[in-house]
Amino acid sequence: MINNVETFANIPIIFQKGADWFSQIGKGKSKGTKVFALAGKVNNTGLVEVPMGTTLREIIFDLGGGIPNRKRFKAAQTGGPSGGCLTEKDLDLPMDYESLISVGSMMGSGGLIVMDEDNCMVDVARFFLEFTQDESCGKCTPCRIGTKRMLEILTKITLGEGEEKDLELLEELATTIKATALCGLGQSAPNPVLSTIRNFRDEYLAHIRDKECPAKVCRALLKYRITSELCKGCGLCERNCPEKAISGKPKKPYTIDQSICIKCGNCLNKCPFNAIELK
Ligand code: SF4
Ligand code: SF4
Ligand code: SF4
């Protein structure tokens, strides 16, 4: 018996109505219903119980009410921190055990985190790996040391210090850890890294080659710039900069010293003339 609450909750109704009735719900080998914890960039967050095999699109856009603020759906992470991400091409994927495994993800505990265009997938992979690395018990070398090395590489990439060979190294480490770690935690920890590299390789390359974070999340890669044609020289940004990184003369275009800027974003929020852009 799998001792989890969801299994226990199914047992009374199976006794009441019979196994045949229960088996009619669901798809293929995945019988019955599944509770998903719908979270992230979706209008209706919370627990939803659906027949196994309900598509990702139905869960996110029908039950979840779609993505807030007219943003574009980018990805959904299933299976918690050890799962993988699904993308737009997977929206019509039936959410059942077999289909999720076939696309490199998993059902896990039913976690379903929705991401929009403002999420950086390199940062997402780093965030999930940080969690699993922290959870590693340390008994076996691939998980104890391997996940640590992977996290170091991902952090390096988000800081703009990544090299192209890092992607190859990440994939090699991930494949080795999956094949050699002792338990499920280590074997599944590389999933978010592998699935984001597979689905969002361009985003990794933007961080590595162009030193840019397309979603404007990785702070070290952000650049605040003043557009001189739009700047009225009011000085409001200078007065609100905590690092004195902005200088200029009244009624002339101001400038930002990138070597001092700590990327706090104060100037962008304060400028009344939209003269500051975030790149
Ligand atoms: S794979 Fe399992 S046994 Fe090995 S270190 Fe990670 S948590 Fe421990
Ligand atoms: S982002 Fe912050 S630190 Fe940088 S120039 Fe603007 S206000 Fe100053
Ligand atoms: S707040 Fe805007 S308009 Fe005023 S000086 Fe700064 S950039 Fe120029």
**Torsion, Cα of 49, 51, 54, 59 (10° steps):** -10
* Cα distances (Å, whole numbers) of residue 169 to 3, 40, 156, 218: 38, 30, 13, 21
Mutate to test the pocket of ligand 1, among 134, 137, 150, 173 (most ligand atoms within 8 A of CB): 137
At 1 the pLDDT is 58
Ligand 1 atom at shortest distance from the alpha carbon of 186:
1
At 115 the pLDDT is 97
CA count, 13 A, side-chain hemisphere, 192: 31
* DSSP string across the chain: ----HHHHHHHHHHHHH-HHHHHHSEETTEESEEEEEEEES-SS-EEEEEETT-BHHIIIIIIS---GGGPPEEEEEESGGGSEEEEGGGTT-B-SHHHHHHTT---TT-EEEEEETT--HHHHHHHHHHHHHHH--S-SHIIIIIHHHHHHHHHHHHTT---THHHHHHHHHHHHHHHH-SSHHHHHTTHHHHHHHHH-HHHHHHHHTS---TTS--GGG--EEE-TTT-----HHHHH-TT--EE--TTS--EE-TTT-----HHHHH-TT--EEE-
* DSSP string across 26-73: EETTEESEEEEEEEES-SS-EEEEEETT-BHHIIIIIIS---GGGPPE
State whether the beta carbon of 219 lies less than 6 angstroms from ligand 3.
no
* Six-digit token string for 263: 């990327």
Ligand 2 centroid–CA 256 distance in Å is: 8
State whether the beta carbon of 266 lies less than 6 angstroms from ligand 2.
yes
Ligand 1 centroid–CA 141 distance in Å is: 8
The ligand whose atoms approach the alpha carbon of 253 most closely is 3
Ligand 3 centroid–CA 251 distance in Å is: 9
> Distance (Å, rounded) from C-alpha 77 to C-alpha 72?
16
Strands 111-116 vs 255-256: parallel, antiparallel or unpaired:
unpaired
Ligand 1 centroid–CA 184 distance in Å is: 8
The ligand whose atoms approach the alpha carbon of 132 most closely is 1
Ligand 1 centroid–CA 223 distance in Å is: 40
- Please tell me the residue having the least CA distance from ligand 2 atom 2: 264
State whether the beta carbon of 226 lies less than 6 angstroms from ligand 3.
yes
Q: Tens digit of pLDDT per residue, the chain (279 long)?
A: 557 888 889 999 999 999 999 999 998 889 999 999 999 999 999 999 999 999 999 999 999 999 999 999 999 999 888 888 999 999 999 999 999 988 888 888 899 999 999 999 999 999 999 999 999 999 999 999 999 999 999 999 999 999 999 999 999 999 999 999 999 999 999 999 999 999 999 999 999 999 999 999 999 999 999 999 999 999 999 999 999 999 999 999 999 999 999 999 999 999 999 999 998
Ligand 3 centroid–CA 222 distance in Å is: 19
Ordered by where they begin, the domains of the chain are 5-116 (3.10.20.600), 121-208 (1.20.1440.230), 223-278 (3.30.70.20)
